[in-house]
C-alpha cells in the first residue's frame, strides 16, 4: 500500500517515486507482483539469542536469513509475456547461488487487479494468469530441497469488492453481515442523495465512503473504492483469517508480511477527523489536510496485531520450523516501536523501517542525518528487538539515480553493516539505476509513469533484454543502463567500486564480524565519518581533503584477506539528480 499512500501527496511524484523488478517479461495490468526482499542479517548471532519473543528456531532463522526481493518481476516460464509461479521455480538455483535463504512474494491470489493484486478476491486461490495450486506445491517442494523459505504478503485490511464475502455482506447473509465497515448516512441532500457518515477521506482522493444501493448503507474504503475495508473486530472474520493463515502454513509457507498494518481499525464512534491546520479555510480538503487520529494508528490496531500473532502461533505445523510476521507501516517512531511488543505481549518479529527513505526524500543523506535516524531507532527499540534498515523499495527512485551511483554503493555497505536486518531491494546489490520508459497508455491506467523508473528487468546479464526477458506488447521498454549484470559479475574478481553484492556478501560472511555498533559523526570527530563495529569489524579511514559532510569511506579491517578494499564518495552533496 506504499504507492497508494505516496501517490496522493501534493508534490511532484517524479521527485520521489520509482520502483523495480528482478526479471520482467512484460508489465501488464494483470502482471505477477513479486517481491523478494533481502533481509541481510549481520553474523552477530548473539544479538538475537537474547530475543525473548522468538523461539530458538526462529532466532536461528533470523540470524542467518538472506532474502532477495524483486517487486513487479515477471518470471515468465511459457513465453506469454506474463510471469508465473513456474517462472519463479526456474530461478531457484540462482537464488541459492546468491546466498538467498528466504523469498517474499506479494499477492498472487485471485484478483481483478485494480490495485495490482492487493485487491484480493480469494485468499486461498491462485489467479490463473500466475499458475495453479499444483504449480505452487511444486514451488514449495523445490524450495524445500534447497532449504529456501517463503513469506507471503497477506492483505488483512481490505479485500476486493469481488470477494464472495462482500456480496454476502451486501445481502446481509450471516455471518457475513458485519465482515465490512458499514454505516448509515448522516442525512440526505435535498435531492435525496445520501450524505456520508463523516469527513473521512480516501488516500486515493475523495470521500472514503461509498454508497451501496442494494444494502442502503455506506461502506468504508481507505484505499480504492473497489477495496472495501474489512471489519477485523468481528470474531467470525478473525476466524476466517486463522483458517487462511493455517492453510498457507500447511502448504509450507514460513510467514507473512502484513500489508497496511497501521490502518486495521477505525474509531467506533466514527467521529470527524480534525484539520492539521485549524486555520485552513480551503473548502477542497485533501487527505493530507486532515489529522487522521480516528483512522490510523489506533491502539485497537496494535491490540489486533497482538491477536494475529497469537493466531499465527496457534497454527503450529511440524513441517514449518519458523513462522514470522513482518508489518508494513509508515508510522512515526513511537508507533513503530509498538510492533515489537514486549515479553508478555507478543507482537510481530520486526517492522520494516522506512525512516531512512523518509528522511532522504528531499535532502541529501548527510552523516549527521544518517546518525540521527540510525541512533533514534536503536535507542527507541526494545532491548529484545531486531533492527531493520531500508533504503530502496518499489515506490522510490533508486538511490544511485537520485543522488549518485557511487553513493548508492556506500549506502548499501552502510545498511549491510548495521546491526539487525538489512532489507535490500532487487538490483541494489549490483548498483542498478532507474530506467527510461516509453509511456504506454494501457499501463498508465493501472500504474503511474513515476512508478516505472526503477521497475526495470533485473539485469541477469549485460544483454539488452537482460538474458531473454520477454518483450511482448503492449509494454515498451527502453533500457539505458545495461552494461552490468549478475552473470557477468559472479565470474569476475572482486571489484572495488561499485561493491557488487555477490562479492561483498562473501566478504561480509567471511571477514566482517562486528559485535557492537557506534556512530561517530563529523561533529564528534574531524577525522571520521562513522564507525560500524569495533576493532574487529568495519573501521573508518582518515578523512581526505574535501567537503567533510559529503564523504564516507569504509574498508575491511586489517585482518581481512581483502585488506585495502575501500568505498569512497567525494563532493557529491549537491549532486542530486
Report, as an integer, the average pLDDT of 336-356.
Answer: 91
Sequence-distant contacts of 501-506: CB under 8 A, at least 24 apart: 501/98, 501/412, 501/424, 501/428, 501/429, 501/430, 502/98, 502/99, 502/429, 504/412, 504/413, 504/416, 504/429, 505/40, 505/66, 505/98, 505/99, 505/429
How far apart are the C-alpha atoms of 38 and 100, rounded to whole Å? 8
Q: How far is CA 248 from CA 120, 244, 316, in A?
A: 15, 7, 11
Q: How far is CA 437 from CA 185, 218, 443, 449, in A?
A: 45, 40, 11, 8
Which helix H or strand E contains 371, and what residues bound it?
Answer: helix 367-380
Q: Is the pLDDT of residue 126 over 60?
A: yes
Contact between 398 and 434 (Cβ < 8 Å): yes
- Give the CB-side neighbour count of residue 282, counting CA atoms within 13 A: 11
How far apart are the C-alpha atoms of 215 and 317, rounded to whole Å? 41
- Give the CB-side neighbour count of residue 540, counting CA atoms within 13 A: 22
Identify the sign of the CA torsion 440, 443, 445, 448: negative
CA torsion, ordered 37, 258, 421, 363, to nearest 10 deg = 80
* CB atoms closer than 10 angstroms to residue 299: 10
The reply to whether 2-156+236-262+299-489 and 158-231+264-296 are identical in fold is no
Look at domain 158-231+264-296 and name its CATH class: alpha beta
Most confident of 47-56, 234-243, 418-427: 234-243
Q: How far is CA 224 from CA 10, 177, 228, 407, in A?
A: 18, 21, 8, 37
- State the alpha helices, DSSP H only, in 459-562: 486-489, 501-511
Report, as an integer, the average pLDDT of 15-20.
Answer: 28
Tens-place pLDDT, residues 370-417: 778 888 998 899 887 888 888 887 777 888 888 777 667 667 767 766
Tens-place pLDDT, residues 35-64: 222 222 222 222 121 222 334 444 434 434
Options 162, 300, 328, 461, the catalytic residue? 328
Domain assignments of the chain as residue spans, ordered by start: 2-156+236-262+299-489, 158-231+264-296
Contact between 419 and 42 (Cβ < 8 Å): yes
pLDDT of residue 238: 96
pLDDT of residue 216: 98
Q: Is the pLDDT of residue 5 over 80?
A: no
How far apart are the C-alpha atoms of 335 and 367, rounded to whole Å? 25
Options 259, 322, 371, 409, the catalytic residue? 259
Tens-place pLDDT, residues 177-231: 999 999 999 999 999 999 999 999 999 889 999 999 999 999 999 999 999 999 9
474 prior amide bond cis, ω within 30:
yes
pLDDT of residue 437: 54
**Which segment of 27-31, 94-98, 248-252, 418-422 scores lowest on mean pLDDT?**
27-31
pLDDT of residue 434: 75
259 catalytic residue (yes or no): yes
| Ramachandran bin of 253, using left for φ above 0, alpha for ψ from -120 to 50, beta for the remaining angles | beta
Contact between 182 and 197 (Cβ < 8 Å): no
Q: How far apart are the first and last CA of the chain?
A: 26
Look at domain 2-156+236-262+299-489 and name its CATH class: alpha beta
328 catalytic residue (yes or no): yes
Tens-place pLDDT, residues 61-92: 443 444 445 443 456 676 666 678 888 888 88
How far apart are the C-alpha atoms of 392 and 342, rounded to whole Å? 29
Tens-place pLDDT, residues 434-482: 766 544 444 444 444 445 566 666 665 555 555 444 444 333 333 333 3
In degrees rounded to 5, what are phi and psi of residue 11? -135, 175
Give the pairing type, strands 436-437 and 477-478: antiparallel
> What percentage of residues in the chain have a pLDDT greater than 90?
36
Of 21 and 336, the structure prediction assigns the larger pLDDT to 336
Amino acid at each position: 500500500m506504499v504507492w497508494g499512500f505516496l501517490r496522493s501527496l501534493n508534490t511532484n511524484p517524479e521527485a520521489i517515486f520509482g520502483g523495480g523488478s528482478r526479471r520482467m517479461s512484460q508489465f501488464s495490468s494483470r502482471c505477477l507482483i513479486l517481491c523478494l526482499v533481502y533481509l541481510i542479517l549481520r553474523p552477530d548471532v548473539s544479538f538475537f539469542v537474547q530475543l525473548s519473543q522468538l523461539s530458538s528456531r526462529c532466532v536461528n532463522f533470523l540470524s542467518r536469513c538472506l532474502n532477495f526481493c524483486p517487486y513487479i518481476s515477471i518470471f515468465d516460464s511459457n513465453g506469454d509475456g506474463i510471469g508465473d509461479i513456474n517462472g519463479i521455480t526456474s530461478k531457484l538455483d540462482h537464488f541459492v547461488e546468491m546466498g538467498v535463504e528466504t523469498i517474499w512474494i506479494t499477492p498472487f491470489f485471485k484478483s481483478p487487479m485494480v490495485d495490482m493484486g492487493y485487491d484480493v478476491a480469494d485468499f486461498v486461490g491462485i489467479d490463473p494468469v500466475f499458475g495453479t495450486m499444483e504449480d505452487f506445491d511444486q514451488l514449495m517442494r523445490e524450495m524445500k530441497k534447497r532449504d529456501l523459505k517463503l513469506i507471503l504478503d497477506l492483505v488483512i485490511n481490505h479485500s476486493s469488492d469481488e470477494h464472495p464475502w462482500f456480496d454476502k455482506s451486501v445481502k446481509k447473509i450471516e455471518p457475513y453481515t458485519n465482515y465490512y465497515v458499514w454505516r448509515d448516512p448522516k442525512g440526505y441532500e435535498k435531492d435525496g442523495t445520501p450524505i456520508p457518515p463523516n469527513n473521512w477521506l480516501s488516500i486515493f482522493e475523495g470521500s472514503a465512503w461509498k454508497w451501496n444501493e442494494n444494502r442502503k448503507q455506506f461502506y468504508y474504503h481507505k484505499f480504492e473504492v473497489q477495496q472495501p475495508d474489512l471489519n477485523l473486530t468481528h470474531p467470525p472474520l478473525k476466524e476466517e483469517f486463522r483458517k487462511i493463515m493455517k492453510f498457507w502454513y500447511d502448504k509450507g509457507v514460513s510467514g507473512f508480511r502484513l500489508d497496511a498494518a497501521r490502518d486495521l481499525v477505525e474509531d467506533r464512534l466514527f467521529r470527524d477527523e480534525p484539520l492539521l491546520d485549524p486555520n485552513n479555510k480551503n473548502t477542497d480538503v485533501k487527505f493530507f489536510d486532515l489529522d487522521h487520529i480516528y483512522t490510523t494508528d489506533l491502539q485497537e490496531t496494535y491490540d489486533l496485531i497482538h491477536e494475529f500473532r497469537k493466531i499465527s502461533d496457534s497454527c503450529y505445523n511440524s513441517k514449518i520450523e519458523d513462522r514470522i510476521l513482518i508489518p508494513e507501516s509508515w508510522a512515526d517512531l513511537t508507533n513503530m516501536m509498538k510492533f515489537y511488543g514486549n515479553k508478555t505481549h507478543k507482537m510481530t518479529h520486526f517492522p520494516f523501517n522506512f525512516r531512512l527513505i523518509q528522511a532522504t526524500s528531499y535532502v541529501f543523506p548527510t552523516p549527521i542525518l544518517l546518525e540521527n535516524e540510525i541512533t533514534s531507532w536503536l535507542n527507541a527499540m526494545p532491548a529484545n528487538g531486531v533492527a531493520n534498515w531500508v533504503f530502496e523499495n518499489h515506490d522510490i527512485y533508486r538511490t544511485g539515480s537520485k543522488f549518485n551511483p557511487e553513493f548508492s554503493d556506500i549506502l548499501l555497505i552502510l545498511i549491510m553493516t548495521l546491526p539487525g536486518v538489512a532489507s535490500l531491494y532487487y538490483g541494489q546489490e549490483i548498483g542498478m539505476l532507474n530506467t527510461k520508459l516509453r509511456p504506454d497508455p494501457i499501463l498508465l491506467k493501472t500504474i503511474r509513469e513515476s512508478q516505472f523508473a526503477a521497475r526495470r528487468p533485473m539485469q541477469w546479464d549485460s544483454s539488452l533484454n537482460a538474458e531473454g526477458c520477454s518483450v511482448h506488447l503492449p509494454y515498451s521498454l527502453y533500457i539505458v543502463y545495461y552494461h552490468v549484470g549478475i552473470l557477468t559479475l559472479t565470474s569476475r574478481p572482486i571489484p572495488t567500486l561499485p561493491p557488487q553484492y555477490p562479492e561483498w556478501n562473501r566478504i561480509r560472511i567471511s571477514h566482517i564480524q562486528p559485535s557492537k555498533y557506534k556512530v561517530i559523526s563529523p561533529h564528534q570527530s574531524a577525522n571520521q565519518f562513522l564507525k560500524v563495529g569495533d576493532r574487529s569489524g568495519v573501521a573508518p579511514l582518515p578523512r581526505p581533503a574535501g567537503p567533510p559532510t559529503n564523504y564516507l569511506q569504509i574498508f575491511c579491517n586489517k585482518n581481512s584477506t581483502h585488506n585495502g578494499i575501500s568505498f569512497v564518495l567525494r563532493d557529491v552533496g549537491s549532486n542530486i539528480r
